[in-house]
Amino acid sequence: MTLSGGCGIDAPYLRPQLDAIAAMNIKQLKTLLAVVEHKSFAAAGDRLGLSHSAVSLQIKAMEDELGVLLFDRIKRPPVPTARGRALAEHAQKTLALFDASASVARGELVRDKLTIGAVPTVLASFLPAGIKVLQAQYPALEITLRSGSSSGLAARLAEGDLDVAICTKPLNPIPGLDWHAIATEPFVVIAPAHAEGDDWRDLLQDHPFIWFNRKTWAGQSIEEELKAQKINVRGAMEIDSLEAISNLVSEGLGVAIVPICKGRRAFSNRIRHLPFGDPQFSREIGAFTITDGRSDLVIGSCIEALQSS
């Protein structure tokens, strides 16, 4: 049932009575909603298994506790006053929260909205397939997507702007956030198909280098690994889009180091690629969630869908 009306629980004339609501019990609130929904005391009594007089006594007790009239009894059948409708709207929300209490404790509460933040490489690779699986499980779930850098998404999650942040795993844990591994993505050196050189080191040192944005965690890890391998590159450009980097490489404008993303289509035949590093360098992609000591059924299903996609 959805109640509508011109006033809400924040109406000024209700504020002095709000403290009295604590004295009311769940049974009284359910009785109030039943009367509003079924439009008569008698019908509400039939619905609840109560006599007409029992319903009337419960409503009268609420009015006495609040010091306001909740129903206009001059009309037949009695109709809710503006204050009665405002309280009924509030009672509807209160009862929904009360009924969900056990589900919250068991981690079974199903939310109706989910906000997912993801780095661009994830948005362009396995995330769409994962969302398709999640929507099949929860057809009514409203999903909002946000894009950003790994560090930016982690910060927004911590601030409460996101429910899940899908990104590159940082070098150090982030207090207050839980990490859920999704995939390990190897890095490769990509070069134009006609580029000379059969060794990844030669390709990196002999051709202009297109950086993967070094403000991102992935870009920073590439830079650190190049230093560890003692390889100097001739930086030509710096881009944060894997598709753009691949297009630049395919046009012969340089070489680059990129991850082979989970679920991503193969490189075009205009590009050749070789494993980067010995052993091959890789990154871990996963999801951050807030650490709050509780499980969330939808968030858990989201992570499982991404892991299986």
Both tokens of 295, joined, read 């499980």
Both tokens of 101, joined, read 């209490």
Give the pLDDT of residue 260: 92
Query: How high is the mean pLDDT of the chain?
Result: 85
Q: What is the pLDDT of residues 47-67, one digit of tens each?
A: 889 898 898 899 999 888 888
Buried b / exposed e across 217-237, counting CB within 10 Å, b at 16+?
bbbbbbeebbeeeeeebeeee
Could you tell me where in the chain the CATH 3.40.190.10 domains are found?
113-182+284-308, 184-282
**Of 77, 99, 79, 78, nearest in space to 29 by CA:** 99
Give the pLDDT of residue 101: 65
Give the pLDDT of residue 10: 46
Share of the chain above pLDDT 70, in %: 87
CATH topology of domain 113-182+284-308: D-Maltodextrin-Binding Protein; domain 2 (3.40.190)
Could you tell me where in the chain the CATH 1.10.10.10 domains are found?
12-106
Give the pLDDT of residue 223: 94
Chain Cα centroid distance, residue 293: 17
Confidence of residue 7 (pLDDT cuts 50, 70, 90): very low
Which one is predicted more confidently, 279 or 109? 279
Strands (DSSP E) contained in 82-219 are 113-118, 142-147, 164-168, 177-192, 208-212
Q: What is the pLDDT of residues 123-181, one digit of tens each?
A: 989 999 999 999 998 888 899 999 999 999 999 999 989 999 999 999 889 999 999 99
d(CA 88, CA 225) in angstroms, rounded, equals 62
d(CA 17, CA 146) in angstroms, rounded, equals 42
The pTM for the full model equals 0.62
Confidence of residue 106 (pLDDT cuts 50, 70, 90): low
Are the C-beta atoms of 170 and 179 separated by less than 8 Å? no
**Of 186, 200, 261, nearest in space to 229 by CA:** 200
DSSP states of 147-173: E--HHHHHHHHHTTS-SEEEEEPPSS-
Q: What is the pLDDT of residues 174-214, one digit of tens each?
A: 999 999 999 999 999 999 999 888 899 999 999 999 999 99
What's the mean pLDDT in 86-107? 72
**Cis peptide upstream of residue 16 (ω within 30 degrees of 0):** no
Q: Tokens 């109706």 belong to which residue?
A: 112
Q: What are the beta bridge partners of residue 190?
A: 256, 273
What's the mean pLDDT in 253-267? 89
Q: Give CA angle at 256 (251, 258), nearest 5°.
A: 115
Give the pLDDT of residue 117: 97
Helix (H/G/I), strand (E/B), else coil: 278: coil
Checking if the pLDDT of 82 tops 70, the result is yes
Which residues does 242 contact at the CB level (< 8 Å), separation at least 6?
120, 121, 124, 212, 258, 259, 261, 264
What's the mean pLDDT in 69-96? 85
Q: What phi, psi does 210 have (nearest 5°)?
A: -105, 110
Which CATH number is 184-282 given?
3.40.190.10
CATH topology of domain 12-106: Arc Repressor Mutant, subunit A (1.10.10)
Checking if the pLDDT of 227 tops 90, the result is yes
Share of the chain above pLDDT 90, in %: 48
- The amino acid that residue 260 corresponds to is I
Give the pLDDT of residue 103: 60
What's the mean pLDDT in 1-30? 53
Question: Residue 257: enclosing H or E segment and its boundaries?
Answer: strand 255-259
Give the pLDDT of residue 13: 46
